[in-house]
Structure 1
Amino acid sequence: MRRVATGLLVAMAALFLLSRRLHDVHSGWGYVQAFAEAAMVGGLADWFAVTALFRHPLGVPIPHTAIVPRNKDRIGDTLAAFLRDNFLTAHIVARRMRRFDLALAAGRWLADPLARSGRLRHGASRLAVSMLEALDPEQFGTTVRGALANRMRAWPVAPTLGRTLTTLVEGDRHLPLIDAVVRWTAKTLDANEDMVRDMIRKRAGSVLRWTGLDETLANSVLNGLRKMLDEVAADPAHPLRAKANEGLALLAHDLQHSPELQAKVERFKNELLDNPAVAAWWMGVWERIRAAMLAHARDPDRALNGPIGEALRQLGATLQSDAVLRAKVNRFARRAVVGGIADYGDGIVRLVSDTVRGWDAATITLRLENAVGRDLQYIRINGTLVGGLVGLVIHVVDVWL
C-alpha cells in the first residue's frame, strides 16, 4: 500500500508536468493541471502527516514529528488506563458475566464427546505430556517421597491405629483377622513340621531319645497344636478367641494412652521411613504412576472413552438439567473472576504499561505501523485524490467566475 500511495503521487507529478507542457494546446489541460497540482499538494501533505507519526520526514528533526517513538511511554500508560477503565473493573466484568451462562456452556461441552475432541483437548494432552517428560523422574519422585515422609513423621500414628483397632473390635470386624491368623498358624506349623520335631528332639532328655519316646512326644505336641488350632477355627466362643479379643482391646487402649508404646511405634515408623528399601519401593511405585499418567496423556481418546469420559458426560448432563447447580456454578465462577480482577487487575494493567515501556522506539514504531500502516496509506491515497478534486473545483470556480 505504501508503494501504491507513492506511485499515485508520482503519477500526479508526471501528469502535472505533462499538463504544463500541453497547456497551450487546449484549454482543457488547465483543468488537468489544476487537478494534478492540488493532488500533489494533498498527497505530500498526507505523506508528511503519516510519516510524522512514526519518524522524522526525510530524517529532518522537525518539531512535532516522530510522535510515536517520542511518546511511547505515554502511549503505554494510556493503553493501560484504557484497559483498566473499560475492561478490567469489577462491575464491568460482573455485569458481563451475568449475561453469560458459563455452567450451561460447560455442560453442553462436557456432554458432547465431539465437542471435546477438538484442539483444546489435544493441546491439553500435549501440555501434560511435555510437563511429565520435562520433570526429572528421580528428582521429582524424591521430592514427593520427601514431602510424604515429612507428613508421615508429623502424624502421630499410634493413636490413630488405636482408635481404628477399637472400632474394629467393638464392631466384631476383627474376627476375619483372627481367622486369618489361625489359618496362617496352621499352615506355618505344617510347613515347618520337621523343624518343630528337631527342636523337640534336641530338648528331650537322653533317656527319651534312647527309648525312642522323643518321636512320640513330638507327635503328641504337633497333634495337640493342630487340634487346638482346629478348635479355635471352628468355635467362635473358644477361650483363646476371648483372650485374643482382650489382648487386642488392651493393645488399642495402650496405643491411645500409653506414652511408652506410642514412643515405640513412632521409633518403628521413623526407622521404616528411613529404610532404603522403602525409598526404593516408592521410586518403583512413582515410576509406574508416571508411566500410567504418560500413557493416558498421550492417548486422550482412550482416557475419555473410559470411566473418566463417562463421568464427564454425566457431569455435563447434570449441569444442563439442574438449574440450581448451574446457578451455584455461575455464581462461583463470577465471584472467582471478579475477585481475580479485583486482586490482579492492577497487575495486568502494569504488565501492559511496563511491557510497552520496555520496548525500544524502533520496536513499538514497527509494531504500530504494521498494525495500522495499511489504513494510513489509504489516507495518503484519499488525500491525493481529494486534494486533486478540491483543486479542480477551485480552478473551475476561478475560470467561470
Structure 2
Amino acid sequence: MTLFARVPGTGGAVPPALTRMRRVATAMLVVMALLFLASRALEARHPAWGFVQAFAEAAMVGGLADWFAVTALFRHPLGLPVPHTAIIPRNKDRIGDTLAIFLRDNFLTAHVVARRMRRLDVAAVVGRWLANPVGGQGRLRHGASRLAASLIQSFDQQRLGGMVKGAIANRLRSTEVAPLLGQAIQAAIAEDRHVPLIDGMIRFVARAVEANEQVIRAMVHDRAGSILRWTGLDETLANKILDGLRKLADDIAADSQHPLRAKAEEGLAKLAADLQSDPALQARVEQFKEDMIGNPALQRWLDGMWERSRAALLRLVRDPDRAMAGGMGDALRQLGETLQRDPRLARTINRFVRRAAVGMVADYGDAIVRLVSDTVRGWDARTITGRLENAVGRDLQYIRINGTLVGGLVGLCIHSIDVLL
C-alpha cells in the first residue's frame, strides 16, 4: 500500500489527505447540482422546494467560483488558457525572488540575527551537555563520533601527515629560537630554577670522574717521568688528583656560595644575555635549528608522532564513552560545570558565538539568498506547482467546501428576502 498517489499535473506525489479533500469538495458540488435539478422539478408541488432550489443554485455558483480560483493558482482550469490563471507556474521566478528577499529582510540581516542571538545562552546549553552527556545527548555524541572518525579516515594520510610536518617545520623556521632560550634562562635564573641544573651538572661531573678513574690513572702514568713510575709516585699522584676532584665536586654540591658555582651562574647569565643580543651566537643557534629540522632522524620522529597522534585520535572518537570515562571526560565535565558557574566566561563565549553568527550572515547572507532564488528558478513549473499544492492544497479544498456552503446560505437568504417582501 502506497502512502502517496501520483496525480497528473501536480508534478509529484500527492498526500492522500489532499486527494480525499478534493473528492469531498467535488462530491459536494455534484450533490448541489443534483439537488438543484430535483428541487427544480418539484418546485411546483410545494413552495419549500423553492428555498431548496435557491440554496442549491447559489451553492453551485459559490463552489464553482472557488474551484476556479483554487485551480487557477496552479493550472489552467479545464486546460483553457484563460488570462490570469496558472499563476504559480507563470510566476515561479518572481516567487523565488520574493521568497529570497523575504528571507533576507526578515531573517538574514545582521541586526535581526544579533537580536535573536542575544536571547540564546549557548554557553549554558553547552555546559549542561558537557556536564551530563546522557540520553539523547549520548546518541548525539555517538553520531558526532562516527562522523569525526569518518572524516579523519577520509583524509589522505601521507598528504595530511606532510601538511602537519610542514606546518610544524614552518612554525619552527619562523620562530627565533635564540631570544626565546635567552629569555627562558634569564627567567629561570631570576626565580632560582637554574639551581637544579647546576646540581645536575655537578653530579654528572662526579659520576664522570668515578666512571673514568682508570682513564685518569692511565693518563697520569703515561705523562709521569720514569723516576716517578720507578718509585711508584705516579700512583700516589693519581690518587691525589682523583681525591681532589671528588672533594671539589662535594664542596661545590654542599656550598651554595661556592666560587665555582658563582662562576657557573655568571656563565649562564652571560649566555642568556648573548642569546638575546649577540647576532653571531643567534646565527649559530639558527643554523643549528635548521640542521635539526633537516635531519632525517627528526623527520622520522615527526612521522611517528603524527601516526601515534592520528591513531590515538581515532581511538578517542570511535569510543566516546571510554573517552568520557577517562581523564578527558573529567576535564570536559569540569569545563561544563565551569561554563554554568562562571558568568564572565559564559558571557565571553556567548559574545563570540553571537559575533560569529552575525559575521556569517554578513559574509554569506547574500549567498544564501541567491541559493534560495536560484534553486526555485532551477525547478521546472510542474515541480514547484506540485510542491506548493501538496503543502497548502488541503486547506485550499476547504475553501471550496466553505464556498459551496456559504454560497448556498447566501442564496437561501436572498430567496427568503425575496419571498417575504
TM norm structure 1? 0.78
**2:251 matches 1:234:** no
The whole-number CA distance in structure 1 between the counterparts of 2:414 and 2:367 is: 56
**2:195 matches 1:180:** no
Q: 1:28-58 deviations in whole A, cap 9, x for unaligned? A: 6665555445444433332332222122334
The whole-number CA distance in structure 1 between the counterparts of 2:126 and 2:300 is: 43
**One-letter identity of the residue aligned with 2:279:** P
**One-letter identity of the residue aligned with 1:302:** A
Q: 1:127 to 1:64 in 2, by over 3 A?
A: same
* Equivalence for 2:320: 299
Q: 1:237 to 1:12 in 2, by over 3 A?
A: closer
Q: 1:310 aligns with which of 313, 330, 334?
A: 334
**One-letter identity of the residue aligned with 1:16:** A
Q: What are the residue-to-residue correspondences of 1:2-401 with 2, within 5 Å?
A: 2-10=19-27, 12-13=29-30, 16-17=33-34, 20=37, 24=41, 27=46, 32=52, 35-93=55-113, 100=119, 102-103=120-121, 106-107=123-124, 110=127, 117=134, 119=136, 122=141, 124-191=144-211, 193=213, 196=215, 200=219, 203=222, 216=235, 221-297=241-317, 298-299=319-320, 301-302=324-325, 306-319=330-343, 341-342=361-362, 344-393=364-413
Q: 1:44-77 deviations in whole A, cap 9, x for unaligned? A: 3323322221223344433222211221121122
Q: 1:214-255 deviations in whole A, cap 9, x for unaligned? A: 983665554444343333322333343233233323322332
Q: Secondary structure at the match of 1:61?
A: coil
Mapped contact 2:63–2:403 kept (Cα < 8 A): yes
Mapped contact 1:109–1:116 kept (Cα < 8 A): no
Mapped contact 1:69–1:364 kept (Cα < 8 A): yes
The whole-number CA distance in structure 2 between the counterparts of 1:239 and 1:30 is: 130
- Per the TM alignment, residue 167 of structure 1 is displaced from its structure 2 partner at its CA by 3.3
**One-letter identity of the residue aligned with 1:299:** P
Count of aligned residue pairs for this structure pair: 393
Mapped contact 1:149–1:273 kept (Cα < 8 A): yes
The whole-number CA distance in structure 2 between the counterparts of 1:41 and 1:212 is: 143
After superposing the two structures, state which structure 1 stretch, 384-393 or 76-85, moved more: 384-393
**One-letter identity of the residue aligned with 2:205:** T
Mapped contact 1:201–1:214 kept (Cα < 8 A): no
Mapped contact 2:54–2:408 kept (Cα < 8 A): yes
- Per the TM alignment, residue 292 of structure 1 is displaced from its structure 2 partner at its CA by 4.4
The whole-number CA distance in structure 2 between the counterparts of 1:209 and 1:379 is: 127
- Per the TM alignment, residue 334 of structure 1 is displaced from its structure 2 partner at its CA by 5.7
After superposing the two structures, state which structure 1 stretch, 218-227 or 181-190, moved more: 218-227
- Per the TM alignment, residue 269 of structure 1 is displaced from its structure 2 partner at its CA by 0.4
Q: 1:91-132 deviations in whole A, cap 9, x for unaligned? A: 55555566x3x45x7447625877654646625555544444
Q: 1:295 to 1:236 in 2, by over 3 A?
A: same
After superposing the two structures, state which structure 1 stretch, 64-73 or 240-249, moved more: 240-249
Q: 1:69 to 1:199 in 2, by over 3 A?
A: farther
After superposing the two structures, state which structure 1 stretch, 302-311 or 16-25, moved more: 16-25
Mapped contact 1:162–1:251 kept (Cα < 8 A): yes
- Per the TM alignment, residue 349 of structure 1 is displaced from its structure 2 partner at its CA by 3.3
The whole-number CA distance in structure 1 between the counterparts of 2:37 and 2:205 is: 123
TM norm structure 2? 0.75
The whole-number CA distance in structure 2 between the counterparts of 1:212 and 1:68 is: 122
Q: 1:363 to 1:192 in 2, by over 3 A?
A: farther
The whole-number CA distance in structure 1 between the counterparts of 2:171 and 2:130 is: 40
CA RMSD of aligned residues (A): 4.1
Mapped contact 1:256–1:262 kept (Cα < 8 A): yes
**One-letter identity of the residue aligned with 1:250:** K
Q: 1:374 to 1:263 in 2, by over 3 A?
A: same
The whole-number CA distance in structure 2 between the counterparts of 1:233 and 1:396 is: 123
Q: 1:328 to 1:117 in 2, by over 3 A?
A: same
* Equivalence for 2:9: none
Q: Identity across aligned pairs (percent)?
A: 55
Q: 1:359 to 1:222 in 2, by over 3 A?
A: farther
The whole-number CA distance in structure 2 between the counterparts of 1:356 and 1:315 is: 43
Q: 1:270 to 1:345 in 2, by over 3 A?
A: same
Mapped contact 1:111–1:314 kept (Cα < 8 A): no
Q: 1:237-286 deviations in whole A, cap 9, x for unaligned? A: 33432332333233223322332222211111011112222223233333
